[in-house]
Every structure is written in C-alpha cells, then in structure tokens.
Structure 1
Amino acid sequence: MRLKGVRGSRNIEDRRRSGAGGKASIGGVGLLIVLAIGYFAGIDVSPLLDGQMGGQSTAPRELSAEEEKAAEFAAQVLATTETVWTDVFAEQLDAEYVPPVLVLYSGVTQSPCGGASGATGPFYCPADEKAYLDTDFFATLARQLGARGDFAAAYVIAHEVAHHVQNEMGILPQVNELRQQVNAAQANALTVRLELQADCLSGVWARNVDGMLEPGDLEEALNAARMIGDDHLQKRAGQVPQPHTFTHGTSEQRSRWFAKGYKGGKINACDTWNARQL
C-alpha cells in the first residue's frame, strides 16, 4: 500500500508506553490455536492462558523501532478511512461522519466493553466509540495466521473502523437490541451478518483508496479474510466446523463480501440484512 506522504491521523491514543502487558510463555501449536480462536471468534481466551501470563508492568518504557513503525502505519491507514468515510457519508448518506479514536496498546488494557488483551484481538467498543489494537497483532497476522502483507494489516484496521461506521449509521445498537431478544444460535447469526457487512464496508474503503494500492494488495486483503473465517479457524483448532457457533462467517463468505464492497464501492452494496444467502 502506497502510504508515502499520507498524513497520520491525530485520532490515536497510544497507551503502549505506560508499560508492557504480560506475554504468554507457552508456545508452539497450542498457543497458536488458543490465540487464533480468541482473535477472530469474538471471545476472550485469557482463562485458557491462566498461569501462562505475566503481570502487567506499570513502569514507562521505550518503544522499539518496529513498534514506532507500526504506530505510524496504523495512523496513516486510519487517516485514509477518515477521508474515505467523510466523503462517502456526504455523497451517499448526506450526513456528517465523525471518526473513531484508535487505541494502541501492548499486552493488556481496559475499555468500557471489558478488558482487552492479546487474546481478545482487535475490536471496536461502541460505548466509547474507540477501536482497540495491540500492534503485536500485525506479526501474529503474518507469521501465525498466514495473512501476510501491509494491506492485510490495513484491512484489519478498516474492518474495525467499519464497525464504527455501522455505529454511526445506527446499525450496531439495533443489532445489539435484537441479540438480547433471541437465543444464542440466532444471536450468532445476527453477529455473522454484522461482521460480513463490516467486511463489505472494508471493501468499499479499499475501492476508494484504489490509487494507493500496489500489485497484490487486493489479494492480501482477500487472503486475510479467508484466513480468519470461522470455519478455517475451527479447523486449525482441530475442530469440525459448527455453523451455529459462527460469529464472523466462513472464509468464503468473508472474502466474497469484501470483494462485493470493493466492486460496488457503495454502502448499499453491503446489505447483508436482506440477503437471502450470505
């Protein structure tokens, strides 16, 4: 992704200097499976790491060059989402877009939606309208989940911002209300439609930054979507995929809805709610 000369967003809250969170001491396939489930199944797997996580340090620390680079990248990608959604809201919704804040943290942090850790993965909290990201996740995405490339990382940020877009449009509170009125399987089905719409909205963003794309970028995003499908992650965890437990959609669904948003370039291309087949 061509980001040279792109401004960095000021809507960044960097908590990483306040102290590094505990890192898991277990390794190998076991840790990979646990973290993979947590990152994209929408659950906190911290209890599975009980006894394997160190305490949180409160001593200030210096950031590494790699961490500084990750923050710069995240700020630039966030800036592109601000430009895109400001224009899209004005042109397609005749509305003003108010961007979210992106919280960068290391190890663990707190949010109104609960504690965040490397086990919870990137997420958006509608209570404070902030997206949360442990920048170490970029390495996990590339090295452990097989989703390499800077545009794969950019897609993750765009996906969390897409949840903010849903919140700005009033979709998130409506879905949250509906989820409280139905059983677990039905609530999961609603969440899948919500997540696939966010994937599609990420595609709309990608279409609108097309001039910044380099050869292979689009495939990086599509591959990331495939690598984080519920069915793929459950298989990696040694499980038989169970559709009634899905919360984000299958690999095929996630990549297809991203592509749909990219091809259409408009919010109305992302109506997962009235789609007969996801």
Structure 2
Amino acid sequence: MKVGLFIPCYIDQFYPNVGIATLELLEKLGCNVAFPLNQTCCGQPMANSGYSNLTKGCDANFVSNFSEFDYIVAPSGSCVLHIKEHLKDADHPEKAIQIRKRIFELCEFLTDVLKIDNLPASFPHRVGLHASCHGQRGLHLSSMSERNEPSFSKPGHLLSMVKGLDLVQAERPDECCGFGGTFCVFEEAVSVKMGKDRIGEHVQNQVEYITGGDTSCLMHLEGILKRQQSPIRIIHIAEILNSSISN
C-alpha cells in the first residue's frame, strides 16, 4: 500500500520527533510511505475560530498533495477529524471525497487497517494514557464512559503489546485536558484549571510518562507540568510504539 504521511504544522514546528517516529514505525511495519513536501496546515485553526471560508487554500493544497495515495496517515486525531468532516475542493470535489475516506489517525490505521497483533517494542516505564476528545468522540478510538457499551481503547490495545510498559488506567479515562485548540487562548483560566485537574490524577497514579495520540493536548499538559516542576514527562504514542522496535 502507498501511504501519504500527513504531519500537522505544530508537530512539524515543535515536535519533529513525533513525525520521525511515525515515519519509522510505518516503514518498519511494511508500509511504502511518502512525505509530500508541499503540505501545510490542514486549516483546522481557522475553521475552529469561525473562519472556515479562509481554509480554501489549505483545502486545495491538501487535495493537491494527498489525492494519489491509498491511505493518508497522521499522528493527530484532531487534524484527521477536521479533514474527514470538512475537506472540500470546488475544483476537485471527487478527490476531496476520496481523501476524506482514506485518511486515518495513526492508532486507527494500525488497528483497523494493518490489524497489528504483535509489536516488538519496548518501553519499561509506568505510563498514563490521555484520551483526546477529537480522537475518542469523533474518531471513536476508545469507548465513552457515559455510554452503556463495551469498553475498548485502540491506543490502549497497542500499548498493551509494548514490552515492559506498565499502563495505569485512569479512573476518569475520558476527561478533557482543557486544550480545545483556540479555547486555551480565549478561555485561558478555565483551560489551565482543566489541565491541572487532568494532571492531578496522573500524579496520584505516580506515572513517569503521560502519552496520547494528539500532540496538541500533550503540549498543553506539558506546559502545566513544567510550570509545576513535575518530573512527569510527555511522550506521543508513536514514540512509544516505535521504541526499540526491530527491523
């Protein structure tokens, strides 16, 4: 299969190791991966701020870069959900529709498309998992605690394959961290309080790392942890799944 690697702009600028880990992981699992060099922001920040009419350039560029792939994979649930629900291109409407069907968040791709059942990775640490809202409620990467349905977690399933990893289940597994894109800018005080509450449970669980599939949420939590001078570190799930993996 031919896979197009979509790396969101904030990962490219601030957390390039997440992009590198995603690329290495997909290649080691047998995917033929290409990284379109002309890709840019997917347009989510403008759309979330009420300026969806300003995303036309982003949409057209995305279609131009990713229309020829069998699958598009990204290590970001929120950006993937934005493309799935909002990508459009007046000049190439059919290509936009096909991309919306072919784009996957990394954990979703590994479990639903590649159907990974063995992952020779090693990460001997105590880890807490953060379920980001877009991934959970939009992409259905994990079950929602308020619903009467069987419990599942695609990221948790993948982490269970990692040798030596001690995954600590949160009592409130789907609580928002407070990031919310531009919400953390316009409602700073509420956002920070939500983040502190989210971190509090992980502190009580004495985790060494907090992981998740959205670097945006992890970035928000990392800022709070650093201000608290906490020893807890942030790591994207791609970096864990790629750790010490054999060729």
Q: Shorter-chain-normalised TM-score: which range? A: under 0.3
TM-score w.r.t. the length of structure 2 is 0.26
Scaled by the length of structure 1, the TM-score of the pair is 0.24
> Which protein is richer in helix relative to its size?
1
